[in-house]
Structure 1
Amino acid sequence: MKKLFYLSLILMLISCNNRQKSVEKNIHLPGRATSKPANNTPPKKVQYSDQQLEQFLDSIGHLPTQALADKAAFWADSIFKNQAKIDIVISASDFKKLKKAVHTKVIDVLTARRIFGNKAIDSACNEASVLLTLKAGLIPVVYYPFDKHKSDFNEYAICIGDPTHCANAYLYFFKGNKIISKHNGYSRYGLDLEHYKDSDGKTVVYYKEEFDDGSGIWWNNYFFYKYDGDKLIPVLNELQNGNLQSSELRAFWLESFVQKTNPLTIKMVYYDQFSIPTDSGDFGPNIINDSTIVRYNWNEQLKIYQGDYKNSKINKPQVLSYYLASDDLLFINAYYKTLKATLFDKVKKKRTLYYLNQVKNYQRKQ
């Protein structure tokens, strides 16, 4: 089960431009309220009055949204924006060997380490599938062509190590015989690496980056990158699937689907539930249950895609509230008007106030 990176590793990630996967057994969601402390000692909770809880809602609702959104986005954005930039021109003889490796779908580890200048390429990554393990010293090669003809070798990617079987797989992007970028290649459920031509004729590639997965918990983002000459630039980082069903306060789900690429259009489906104010741990009817379409416009000056959230039913801070690295304050702030409206509904009011009471108790301890 892939777990969240420690946030303290972000600075190391940025400085070395290389990502590492955490193998910790316990997940930590920064800033997220929970009704069970780490030592399992029952907390002494305060039952606030309805008026105090509504005032708490109003105070959080009027906080500056951008600061809360930036905090939630920081970790994933740090990974997205800091993939390793490489400038390695492969010799004619090595390029010939690499093309042969693409054809045979295998390369010897020593040759791979030399061509890519990466001593960390793992000789243990010799599992090509559940039915095929290569002999010692060989490693799988997975080829992703982005050109009209697979044999052009103009814009393409090569993964050294099978993405679904090698935790130390490396995904390299090429422009001709030049390596221009290195990404983490491992993906438990497959990279799902896709590509298309943007309206300006340039190639855009995207894949799902897995941050966490497990029983009742999931977090993937779409990472979009664009060829810009002989560079690969980050252009869009958007939530693909964020859900948390194991919380005792708020259960949520948001899933995105790329509907078309010109213009880039993504459909989002999402819901939120609050726990019932009992000890059952059950959740009541949805507080939020909706879907929307977000279209993305290319900003040539900034060289990024920008979501047209003004013409959708969700905005960026609300999307970020479905990150596992988000916290309850962003959710309350981003959905302030929605939560305020629930106070005029007898059934929803009870659940909203119960949720706010739990969050306020959590914040009191910080």
Structure 2
Amino acid sequence: MKKLFYLLLFSMLIGCNNKQKPVEKKSSSHVPAISKPTSNTPPKKIQYSDQQLEQFLDSVGHLPTQPLAAKTAFWADSIFKNQAQLDSVISLSDFKKLKQATHTGAIDILTARRIFGNKKIDSACNEESVLLTYKEGLIPVVYYPFDKHKADFNEYAICIGAPTHCENAYLYFFKGNKIIARHNGSSRYGLNLEHYKDTDGKTVIYYKEEFDDGSGIWWNNYFFYKYDGDKLIPVLNELQNGNLTISVGRAFWLESFVQKTNPLTIKMVYYDQFPVSSDTTDFGPDIINDSTIVKYNWNEQLKIFQGDYKNSKISKPQVLSYYLTGDDDIIFINAYYKTLRAALLDKVKKKRTLYYLNEVKNYQRKH
């Protein structure tokens, strides 16, 4: 993801110094390695005519939206939908050891590897916090009960390795003494694993998946999963925070907040601005500045939550335009075509909108 970000910067002016709005930053072990440009010399930029830029806006605005949305969503969805499904019954003696480990907060490495059948459980992950490091051979255990009583051990999760101190932490989900799923447990700022009972009485869990972070750039999604018998199934992948404030062409922000769970309701706050140079602290007027509520209905046939976007002020493709995929400008122009068309009729917004379109068209020419 950072590779795509650097390609974006390479196509624009180098050395941005724009203002930022303070927020907690996120990170992710999923982010591919950075590929930096081999030269600090930006490619020669073409200044297109207003007519050419309006034609570009129209051409992108009239592209079919669904293929663009599918392409933008693909990478995050592939991670969301492809967590390891397991079906491993633990012996009663090992189950007793695991319960004991949830009380003591640690388990020996060899026992953990044997119980979970995972030789990649890291023996170096013996740090629980800055104040506590276990002796060699032990690894922290973090217990997340989803039952009314912690001692029930019916539906719960156990993280082997402290999420904030172990890059190879593994999050295991259980149904009784059966391991049913394994997720990535590493989280720079903590898993913030939450749970609730849906209207059908089944347990839903969710947490923030960290894709990217940096100075003025970050991307987190909410991953929702639901207990369905002895399975943990993916039911909703929604943007939690997408932000970019160091791009020359477009500065944007969307942040989501779970307001309630029955029915599942999420509030989204978002804005977009078009800076006109690389060294300005003036981001200009808001092209978009709004908030909305999205309610999610359970589809039993598909076994997913579906957002009721028709009764909100944002569409799913518009939400996707706040992803940091490298193609977010194309889906942004497509999803917000009417908004951008209207901006060209505004004397204050027109100059910045044309500047933004010129930046995107130059980037597309080079890629």
Structure-2 change in CA distance of 1:20 and 1:273 (3 Å): closer
Which residue of structure 1 lines up, in the alignment, with residue 85 of structure 2? 85
Q: Which residue of 1 aligns with 2:333?
A: 332
Structure 2 residue 132 is the aligned partner of structure 1 residue 132: yes
2:174 is aligned to 174
Q: What residue identity is the alignment partner of 1:327?
A: D
- Alpha-carbon separation, structure 2, partners of 1:365 and 1:264: 43
Q: Which residue of 2 aligns with 1:117?
A: 117
- Number of the residue aligned with 2:72: 72
Query: What displacement does 1:359 show?
Result: 1.1
Q: Give the C-alpha shift of residue 261 in structure 1.
A: 0.1
State whether residues 3 and 35 of structure 2, in contact with CA within 8 Å, keep that contact through their aligned partners in structure 1.
no
Aligned amino acid, residue 46 of structure 2? V
Q: Structure 1: how far apart are the matches of 2:79 and 2:310?
A: 27
Aligned residues: CA RMSD: 1.7
Please list the CA deviations of residues 91-132 of structure 1 after superposition, one character each: whole Å capped at 9, or x if unmatched. Answer: 000000000001111100000000000000001000011100
**Structure 2 counterpart of 1:158:** 158
Letter in 1 for 2:141: V
Could you say which residue in structure 2 is the equivalent of 1:360?
361
Match of 2:33 among 24, 27, 34: 24
Q: 1:99 and 1:278, CA in 2 relative to 1: closer, same or farther beyond 3 A?
A: closer
Read off the aligned partner of 1:75 and give its amino acid letter: W
1:1-366 equivalences in 2 (<5 Å):
21-22=30-31, 24-26=33-35, 39-276=39-276, 280=280, 282-325=282-325, 326-366=327-367
Distance 1:217 1:22, change over 3 A: closer
Tell whether the 8 Å contact from 2:31 to 2:211 is kept in structure 1 after alignment. no
Instruction: Give, in whole Å, the separation in 2 of the partners of 1:97 and 1:187.
Output: 26
Shift of 1:275: 1.2
The one-letter amino acid of 2:33's match is E
Number of corresponding residues: 343
Preserved contact between residue 203 and residue 227 of structure 1 (Cα < 8 Å):
yes
Equivalent position amino acid for 1:124 in 2: A
**Contact between 2:248 and 2:278, CA under 8 Å: does it hold in 1?**
no
Look up the equivalent residue of 2:287 and give its one-letter code: I
Give the SS at the match of 1:192: coil
1:50 and 1:150 map into 2 onto residues whose CA distance is 64
CA contact (8 A) 1:277 1:351 kept: no
Deviations 1:255-277 (A, max 9, x none): 00000000000000000110125
Do 2:174 and 2:180's aligned partners in 1 also have CA atoms closer than 8 Å?
yes
Summarize the Cα distance change of 1:72–1:344 in structure 2 as closer, same or farther, 3 Å threshold.
same
Identity of matched residues, %: 81
Can you list the C-alpha shifts for 1:328-361, whole angstroms capped at 9, x where unaligned? Answer: 1111001000000001101100000011111112
Q: Could you tell me the TM-score, scaled by structure 2's length?
A: 0.90
Amino acid at match of 2:132: L
Q: Give the Cα–Cα distance (whole angstroms) in 1 for the partners of residues 158 and 354 of structure 2.
A: 52
Q: CA deviation at 1:280?
A: 3.6
Amino acid at match of 2:107: I
SS at 2:284 equivalent: strand
Match of 2:20 in 1: none
CA distance in 2, matches of 1:351, 1:96: 64
CA distance in 2, matches of 1:218, 1:364: 26
Match of 1:34 in 2: none
Letter in 1 for 2:261: T
SS state of the match for residue 293, structure 2? strand
Kept in 2, the 8 Å contact 1:142–1:161? The answer is: yes
Is the 1:4–1:211 Cα contact (8 Å) retained in structure 2? no
Q: 1:277 to 1:135 in 2, by over 3 A?
A: closer
Q: Which runs of 5+ in 2 are unaligned?
A: 5-27
Write the distance in 2 (CA, Å) between the matches of 1:145 and 1:296. Answer: 25
| Aligned-partner Cα distance in 2 for 1:277–1:212 | 24
1 CA distance for matches of 2:2 and 2:80? 15
Whether the 8 Å contact between 1:172 and 1:181 is mirrored in structure 2 is yes
Q: Could you say which structure has the greater relative contact order, defined with CA pairs below 8 angstroms and 6 or more residues apart?
A: 2
For residues 239 and 314 of structure 2, what CA distance do their matches in structure 1 show? 13
TM-score between the two structures when normalised by the length of structure 1: 0.90
Query: How far apart are the structure 2 equivalents of 1:233 and 1:89?
Result: 19
- CA deviations over 1:208-243 (Å, ceiling 9, x no partner): 000111110111000000000000000000000010
